[in-house]
Amino acid sequence: MTKDLNDAQKEVVLTKDGPILVVAGAGTGKTNTLVHKLAHLVKTGTNPESILLLTFTRRAAKEMLGRASGILDQRMMSVKGGTFHSFCQLFLRRYGHSASVFPNFTILDEEDRNDFVGMARDQVVTPNTKLRFPKKETLAEIFSTSFNLQLSLEKLIQKEYPMFLGQTKEIQEIKTKFIESKRKHNALDFDDLLDVTRMILMSDENIREKMASIYQYILVDEYQDTNRIQAHIACLLASKHQNILVVGDDAQCIYGFRGANVRNMLDFPKIFPNTKIIQLTENYRSVQPILNVANAVLENSQENYKKNLFSKKTNSIDKPFLVKLENLEEEADYISSLFLDLNENGNSFSEMAALFRAGYSSHLLEMQLTAKKIPYRKYGGKRFLDLAHVKDTIAYLKVIENPKDILSWNRILLLEDHIGKKYANLFYKQLETNQFDLETDPQFFLGIPEATKLSFLRLLECLQGCRLGNQTSGQILEHILTHYLPILTSHYDDAEKRKPDLDALLYLSQKETNLTEFLSQLILNPVEGKEIGSDDDRESEFVTLSTIHSAKGLEWKFVVNMQIVEGVLPNHRIKTVEELEEERRLFYVAITRAKQSLYFTYPLVNEKNRYTSVSRFISDLPNEGELLTKISFTQNQNVSKEENVRKNDGGNDPFQSIQNYFLN
């Protein structure tokens, strides 16, 4: 059963009892090892019903048990496998009474949860409330993030939603009413499933012993992605027998924003002092030159499990390429041309990917791929032109270009305060009467509330200002943004995260000075790039565009990591060493997606026409010249650069040990 495994993988499979931490580097076959571990346990006499496999998706558990059945037999399907949430809901159906939860409780999906929050909000925020208040969806996100990060509401609001600091007391009151409403209606959301399960396991020793007798072996996949609550639950389940195996890669812990805590991996041996640590370091995905860069990046990490990935693959000796380009437009052109050349040399588009830190980074590349008729799909964020705030902004441009565009008029009118559907319809009718002349008609405003009139006048002043003189599309857009940015802030609770998309739109507008041509180029971009070139037998082929977060767990033959500059990767928002280390791990994940060829591209000028510098994750490598092949496509090699400021400031009783760790 273990003949196809390497020595480290065999050690994982053959070690039966006690706590085991498997540090599985990227591409080292951790899933295959876990599958063989499951099969070996059952083959050597373990009752399959006494094994609990916890994963992050139902599909992952089903796939692993199916593969284990192929190795052994159908007994493997009796293993209890599933997500933390699915385990917790079954647990609470049986033991929830210990926390006054009735077995027939309702599980709230995201929409139901938001509606419960909305009802609580309505009890606190009255129509007479003058201050702007977060929407129900934002409040629900605040409550969930506070729970998963184990941060107080006040600290979270201060960090992520400072515009609502003045409403902290009211937000806390809404949370209290939200909790009371769920309890009254015997309803639990996803966070409650974890929270109540943990509470029962902490407080009821009889139930812990019962769980230990039912599940004698606990196996946890992707342990680096667990939050504190999930890790606590897993350890509590194993507190009696300590037969717990967790597998993951601390260097791939990249979901800190949703609660994943790298300390769960790093501190596991502190919770279970007799932990056996086994490292998987033979990589079956990438060639050695790629792994050399990945290893070097991790060497600069503040704290991790030191490991050195190696590969026996010899199908390429090319070092990864570091490509310097003049600006964002040149970068997009280079990447799209590279994909085209690779395809013409016999490589499938499906073997290629461009990865980026933030969704807005790919906007120019999307346009270039479309122009070159290269099919693509984008993951990790909506397509640029489908973003609500981008559609808002383009609607203003459309109205300036074509005052008869009723859909665009309707969109921008309803963005204004005090203008509802009634007055929007009346205004459009008077525009028709006046042959779509934007000059103010005094008769129209008779009988209209003063606040509504002022909103109309402000909008018309903006639009009229855009039609003065012979302005370029960029100048028109700048004028619109002075009017729209306050609207963006008032309409979207995450306005700051949306502003880079508008910077990208402004950058695009400067490439096509004529407004008609600019709009045409934008709108002719098809709904999805995958439709381009699908009139032949290659319609199943497409280049992948993806955020690095969405690319985790995937792999491609050719990978381009784009915009590897300070302020993007690492992100300009980082304030702590911990945040910087997560950015480093994100870069490591991006590197280890490549199987054969890897490219890093960085433009000298960003979307705000400011000079950039290559990411510290590359410039800080002590042997950068030995690891990378450098290519430059810049016109002026001696251009002076503004260096971005770096923000790198940066017991013997197992149950009691677990409690001490997680609660102190």
Closest CA to 81 of 52, 60, 118: 52
Neighbours of 370 (CB within 10 A): 19
Question: Going by C-beta distance under 8 Å and a sequence separation of 6 or more, which residues neighbour residue 104?
Answer: 186
Closest CA to 223 of 29, 54, 85, 91: 54
Q: List the strands of the sheet with 376-379, edge to edge.
A: 376-379, 543-547, 352-356, 556-561, 594-603, 321-325, 629-633
Sequence-separated contacts (24+) of 67-73 with Cβ below 8 Å: 67/32, 67/35, 68/35, 68/36, 68/38, 68/39, 68/42, 71/1, 71/35, 71/36, 71/39, 72/1, 72/39, 72/42, 72/43
3-state class (DSSP) for residue 68: helix
As a whole number of angstroms, the distance between CA 153 and CA 165 comes to: 10
Neighbours of 226 (CB within 10 A): 26
| E-strand stretches of 553-641 | 556-561, 594-603, 629-633
Residue 66's region, left for phi above 0, alpha for psi from -120 to 50, else beta, is alpha
Pairing of strands 244-248, 20-24: parallel
Question: Going by C-beta distance under 8 Å and a sequence separation of 6 or more, which residues neighbour residue 440?
Answer: 457, 460
| E-strand stretches of 337-492 | 352-356, 376-379
Closest CA to 40 of 10, 8, 81, 77: 10
Q: What size, in residues, is the chain?
A: 664
Q: Are 323 and 502 in contact (CB under 8 A)?
A: no
**In 150-220, alpha helices (H):** 153-160, 168-184, 190-203, 205-214
As a whole number of angstroms, the distance between CA 403 and CA 414 comes to: 16
Question: Going by C-beta distance under 8 Å and a sequence separation of 6 or more, which residues neighbour residue 256?
Answer: 262, 578, 579, 582
Which helix (H) or strand (E) segment holds residue 282: the answer is strand 282-283
Which residues make up each annotated binding site? 24-31
Burial environment of residue 540 by CB neighbours within 10 A (0 to 12, 13 to 18, 19 or more): exposed
Closest CA to 290 of 625, 583, 598: 598
**In 24-80, alpha helices (H):** 30-43, 58-71
- Kindly state the tokens that stand for 5: 């495994």
Closest CA to 333 of 348, 359, 354: 354
Closest CA to 315 of 285, 340, 294: 285
**In 592-653, alpha helices (H):** 616-619, 624-627
Which residues make up each annotated binding site for ATP? 24-31
DSSP string covering 568-585: TTTBTT--SHHHHHHHHH
3-state class (DSSP) for residue 350: helix
Pairing of strands 543-547, 80-83: unpaired
